[in-house]
A and B are shown apart, each in its own frame.
Chain A
Amino acid sequence: MSGMPLLSLAIWVPIFAGVAVLLTGADRNAPLARMLALAGAVAGLLVTLPLYTGFDLTTPQMQFVELVSWIPRFNINYHLGVDGISMLFVILNSFITVIVVLGGWKVIENKVAQYNAGFLIMSGLLNGIFVSLDAMLFYVFFEASLIPLYLIIGVWGGPNRVYAAFKFFLFTLMGSLLFLVSLIYLFVQSGGSFSILDWHQLPLAAGQQRWIFLAFLVAFAVKVPMWPVHTWLPDAHVEAPTGGSIVLAAIALKLGAYGFLRFSLPIAPDASHELAGLIITLSLIAVVYIGFVALVQDDMKKLVAYSSIAHMGFVTLGFFMFSALGIEGALVQMISHGFVSGAMFFSIGVMYDRVHSRKIADYGGVVNTMPKFAAFFMLFSMANAGLPATSGFVGEFMVIMGAVKFNFWVAAIAATTMIVGAAYTLWMYKRVVFGDVGNHHVAELTDITPREFLVLSLLAAGALGMGLYPAPFTDIMHSSVEELLRHVAASKIL
């Protein structure tokens, strides 16, 4: 196995599968396109599993490294590798792709091949982001992955999709340009290298670090998204088809957070310490402010979108406390959020496919007609509210534990999510699921199909498994997080 270019496979298997799906053409070949897409997604997941089994827990070094020259003139390389920070996201992404293909099986009737191809290609590109060790390669994947997402929202989205896609584009554009400028600046400063690992060792003056940090911040904050550049997310979610929302929440939101760990902290450690207060403030605003905003949403998708922003606030908070509990807690929160928010959006999709409404007021008493679904939805709602034994608890618990050590009041503000998060989730659940049958749409509901049962079971296994036994996840992270903390603790100012 060790001889295989596993990371290249993780990128290119889904992309080639996507192209193959695309070749099936028109919708009369839809069954073939679906089968092919599922095969591609499963193959894509299978090739990432050796990353876990073959992973060396003892080293913080990059593993499964591949290095080929790409554009020699600018010293740009096809340089891949994973460490304890990035590896799990590759597997999570490939897993979510399987979920999305299964989830859209019966629902998408229009341009089936293109839809599935879009997700497969996006899966490969997203994997590319997590495994790139060359900044230009990272940038290419980072930007290219937007195109399929943009198309998925634009083609299969809701009535207001153009506004949402445009808003999404506008926000990211601003960040991307500054990001590119900083990459070029670092290329010049480092004497002609695009290697991210070289940049980690590059000494930089305090002022330089500050500007680089802020430029990165703009790029990553939009992706996370952090308050106040978050308003594109609820709109994008509302308009996106279910699959788009799942990938957006489960994977795309993690890119910004990953950027902080791969770029901001190690390249500008002094600025990171200097500006930690800013990030922590923004994170706490995200947790509290967004929590209250989520409380009053009348659209289920918007509510879950806002709750995603609040949960991501925990991630950025965890990073900038510079402790193992904080960073590992944040990483756990990222992976857990992949399962839980993915499941929440899928659950909403299950109801939307039947009733064609996302409004809470259009439901009520769903448990009467969909008891099996109600049980799953209860599990994921509780996970969203951070109940122990679900993955949602682990990250929150670790970050709060780390925060008390960091600063009691930071922890106290963050811990309000225990109340507010439970309030918005359970209030929604009560209005949608409990009660008497609300209207004839609800009365006519049919319970989940075996396919939906399978998807929900897979996600439930993830959420519960990680909640009951998170050690296999955190064990992967230890070496790399320790190394990162060591690195960030040392000043890079000459």
Chain B
Amino acid sequence: MEMQKLYLLVPLAPLFGAMIAGLLCRVVPRWVAHTAAIAGVAIAFIASVVIFRDVMAGHTFNGTVYQWLTSGDVSFEVGFLIDPLTVTMMLVVTFVSLMVHIYTVGYMHDDPGYNRFFSYIALFTFSMLMLVMSNNFMQLFFGWEAVGLVSYLLIGFWYTRPTAIFANMKAFLVNRVGDFGFILGIGLVLAHFGSLDYATVFDKADQFANVTINIWGTSEWSLLSVTCILLFVGAMGKSAQVPLHVWLPDSMEGPTPISALIHAATMVTAGIFMVARMSPLFELTDTALSFVIIIGSITALFMGFLGIIQNDIKRVVAYSTLSQLGYMTVALGASAYSVAIFHLMTHAFFKALLFLGAGSVIIGMHHDQDIRNMGGLRKYMPITWLTSLVGSLALIGTPFFAGFYSKDSIIEAVKLSHIPGSGFAYFAVMAGVFITAFYSFRMYFLVFHGEERFGKAHDDHGHVAHDSHDAHHADDHEGDHDDEEVSADHHHGLAPGQKPHETPWVVTLPLVLLAIPSVVIGYLGIEPMLFGSYFGDAIFINGEAHPVMEELAHHFHGATAMALHAVQTPVFWLALAGVVLSWFFYLKRPDIPAKIKHAIAPIYTVLENKYYFDKFNEIFLAGGARLLGKGLWKGGDVGVIDGMIVGGAVRLVGWIATMARFFQSGHIYHYAFTMIFGVCALLSFWLLRA
């Protein structure tokens, strides 16, 4: 009973913080808002730690909080499932969220929407916790949409910026496309399993392994394949898999803390978590797993390419997030769910670190985000420099760092997998290693090393689109409680002669605290999480059909041995090659990239246009929808229905009215004549009948 109250406390504490910061955002001073939000999330984190220890002691929980509604023989409930998978997510979410909350105190210091921002991120934490703690599909969907809402609100946080309010709508709508598949998948689960409760559904999964349904014509489809692919379409939206990835790069319009929290560490991994949670269903359908692994490898490879040509510091990290989400998806497709969750966890730490580091650089650079205007920042921002280096090393998979263990395990798992598509996936993840190392260190070298390019007039770089952070300032009439006037240093970019500066402790402390797990969590976690009994029954693997994890265990001889062995593998050398090449290109011979860019101009154009996904969507989908709407409205409603049918009826009535008016002439003799005529007609009718 005590534990159950604690479960409830985890999501409700951030919600309470969000309500204080949000509903009273005009009333309370800033310190109340951030204290309430931070306290809420801190309580959730501490409670999660306690629950973690309890779960590790073997106490899992699956129960209902309240019955949402019943209808017919179906009952929808709000409830919690507390098992190792849930508690892992709870820890990741609350820890990263707490770091981001603290960081925000510094990052949003001058923003008039300070209180509102805290309310949103605390609300996000609540929603994300509801998502991961759910014990049924309905609540999962609730959390799923709620995090989408908060993401929408936060991308559009600076609501006077046209790019931001376009990006947030785009994010919401693209996610809705995924949700369209997701809700149909949930519908199929309910229709065939008769319940939306995880435990009930998973228990029955075996019985449905060979059930087919008739979806189209006479062809029979495996129920589980269709269901799992539809559920995965939802994951493609939330976890930004090709072709539903288009919203994530644009989401960088939001303030940097939420890029770290929502669009890197937690929300975008909801799809990965969901598939891992549904492992008892996905394990029974190779078709769906194959679909998953192919989509994942396309994302991992092709989104990496785009990272190479980005010049906005946040966008580089965003494309690396897309690529890493592809890695996790590949792991899911290879039936290595625990590896996917492991990579999700390590990625949450080092990617949040990289984003917050990027944010720290942005503060230091006075809101210039163009890496071509940076260089040599290590002298001025030592903590940011070192922590970003740790993050980058973790990201590219340097042995002993967190990312190494998780990424290397993914690559090994894919190698062992026999799912159709795993061959391509293996190529994609191997190539991805090189690309990741290349663009990560391209950014690292351009920002922290080399020539100091800031403080110069750099109009020629045209960093107009994405970095007008101060635009909202002048126009924000709303004004929180202690709205201060626009501070003098809040223009974008450094003035000539100005130097970057290290950020205050509230910004650097989270960097340091995130750097620690980015180094050690892989070493500590790999043995229990991948090869021990850490996840227990939370993840199901059909060992006979997909023996990947079992075989992987054979090759594993401890975390130290794994790291030492790495230097003998091509993975290590690929990563090293990427780093060396970027060093050579961007520090040693900066003239070469320009030449290459010129030489491969057509390819470069394709990359610059992000494979034309946005153009296609804008012209065909958005434009097509508007055209269709116009056509149906003007043609259907106004033309046919109103014009011909209603208009015809109106003309008919009009004609009758004209006739009637003819009789109401106002002349007595007309009326008299009509009366006499009427009497005659009635009389003759009566006489003839008789």
Chain A interface (Cβ < 8 Å from any Cβ of B): 166-167, 170-171, 228, 231, 289, 292-297, 323-325, 328-329, 365, 367-369, 371, 378, 382, 387-389, 393-394, 397-398, 400-401, 403-405, 408-409, 411-412, 415-416, 418-420, 422-423, 426-427, 430, 433-437, 469-471, 473-475, 478, 482
Q: Which of B158-207 contact A (CB under 8 A)?
A: 159-160, 162, 165-166, 169, 172-173, 176-177, 179-180, 183-184, 186-188, 190-191
Q: Is the CB of B187 within 8 A of A371?
A: no
Q: Does B187 contact A296, Cβ atoms closer than 8 Å?
A: no
Contacts of A418 in B (CB 8 A): 176, 179-180, 183
The number of residue pairs between A and B whose CB atoms lie closer than 8 Å in the complex comes to 155
Contact indicator B149/A387 (Cβ below 8 Å)? yes
Known: A294-B629, A371-B478, A422-B173. A435 touches B160 (CB 8 A): yes
* CB atoms of A411 and B172 under 8 A apart: no
Q: Is B110 an interface residue (CB 8 A)?
A: no
- Beyond the given A401-B187, A408-B184, A426-B169, could you list 16 further A-B residue pairs with CB under 8 A, ordered by the A residue number? A166-B650, A170-B649, A293-B637, A328-B71, A378-B153, A388-B142, A389-B142, A393-B145, A404-B190, A404-B191, A405-B191, A412-B184, A419-B177, A419-B180, A430-B166, A471-B68
Contact A167 B72 (CB under 8 A): no
Q: Nearest chain-B residue to A166 (Cβ)?
A: B650
Which residues does chain A contribute within 8 Å of B153, judged by CB atoms?
378
Rounded to whole Å, the gap between the CB of A168 and the closest CB of chain B is 11
Closest chain A CB from B481 CB (angstroms): 13
Q: B187–A435 contact, CB under 8 A? A: no
Interface of A (DSSP majority class)? helix
Alpha-carbon distance between A369 and B475 when the two chains are bound, in angstroms: 10
Give Cα A434–Cα B625 distance, bound, in whole angstroms: 22
Inter-chain CA distance A171–B152, complex, in Å, is 41
B74 interfacial by beta-carbon distance below 8 Å? yes
Contact across chains for B180 and A435 when beta carbons are under 8 A apart:
no
> B685 an interface residue at 8 Å Cβ cutoff?
no
Per-residue A-contact encoding for B631-653, CB less than 8 Å = 1, 0 else: 01100110001100110011001
Asked if A324 contacts B71 (CB within 8 A), the reply is yes
Q: Can you list the 8 inter-chain pairs with the closest CB atoms, starting with the nearest?
A: A324-B72, A404-B187, A296-B629, A405-B191, A292-B629, A388-B142, A434-B165, A295-B629
**Known contacts A170-B646, A388-B145, A411-B184; is A398 also within 8 Å of B71 by CB?**
yes
Contact of B653 among A170, A426, A434, A435 (CB under 8 A): A170
16 contacts between A and B (CB under 8 A): A170-B646, A231-B637, A296-B629, A324-B72, A324-B74, A367-B478, A368-B477, A401-B187, A415-B180, A423-B173, A426-B173, A434-B165, A435-B160, A470-B69, A474-B71, A475-B70
B69 touches A471 (CB 8 A): yes
In the complex, chain B residues whose CB is within 8 Å of the CB of A423: 173, 176, 625
Of the candidates A289, A420, A470, which one forms a contact with B636 in the assembled complex, judged by CB atoms under 8 Å apart? A289
**Chain A residue nearest in CB terms to B127:** A389
Q: Is the CB of A323 within 8 A of B72?
A: yes
| Chain A, Cβ-Cβ closest to B23 | A375
Contact A437:B475 (CB < 8 A) given known A401-B187, A418-B183: yes
Q: Which residues of A contact B380 (CB under 8 A)?
A: none
In the complex, whether B628 has a CB less than 8 A from a CB of chain A is: yes
Give min CB distance, B645 to chain A, whole Å.
Answer: 8
Q: How far is the CA of A473 from the CA of B69 in the complex (A)?
A: 9
Instruction: State in angstroms the CA–CA spacing of A389 and B476 once bound together.
Output: 30
Q: Are A419 and B176 in contact (CB under 8 A)?
A: yes
Contacts of A329 in B (CB 8 A): 71
By a CB distance below 8 angstroms, the chain B residues around A324 are 71-74
If A329-B71, A430-B165, A471-B68 touch, does A167 touch B633 (CB 8 Å cutoff)?
no
Complex contacts, B650 vs chain A, CB 8 Å: 166, 170
- Name the CB-closest residue of B to A423: B173
Chain B contacts with A in 30-77, Cβ cutoff 8 A: 66-74
By beta carbon, the residue of chain A nearest B164 is: A434
> Is B160 within 8 A of A397, CB to CB?
no
Residues of B within 8 A of A378 (CB): 153
Residues of B within 8 A of A426 (CB): 152, 169, 172-173
- B173:A469 contact, CB within 8 angstroms: no
The answer to whether B477 touches A469 (Cβ under 8 A) is no
B141 at the interface (CB under 8 A from A): yes
Does A470 contact B179, Cβ atoms closer than 8 Å? Answer: no
Q: Give bound CA distance, A398 to B172, whole Å.
A: 22
In the complex with contacts A167-B646, A170-B653, A415-B184, A405-B190 CB distance below 8 A: yes
| Chain B residue, CB-CB nearest to A369 | B477
Chain B, range 598-647, C-beta contacts under 8 Å to A: 625-626, 628-630, 632-633, 636-637, 641-642, 645-646
Give complex CA distance A251, B186 in Å. 32
Q: Are B68 and A470 in contact (CB under 8 A)?
A: yes
- Does B592 interact with chain A (Cβ within 8 Å)? no
A328 cross-chain contacts in B, Cβ below 8 A: 71-72
Across the interface, which residues of A come within 8 angstroms of B69, CB to CB? 394, 470-471, 473-474
Q: Which of A289, A419, A437 has most chain B Cβ within 10 Å?
A: A419
What are the residues of chain B within 8 A of A400 when measuring CB–CB?
A: 183-184, 187
Name the CB-closest residue of A to B181.
A415
Tell me, in angstroms, the Cα distance from A103 to B390 when the chains sit together: 59
Q: Counting CB contacts under 8 A, is B562 at the interface? A: no
Complexed CA–CA distance, A382 and B149 (Å)? 8
CB distance from B178 to the nearest CB of A (A): 10
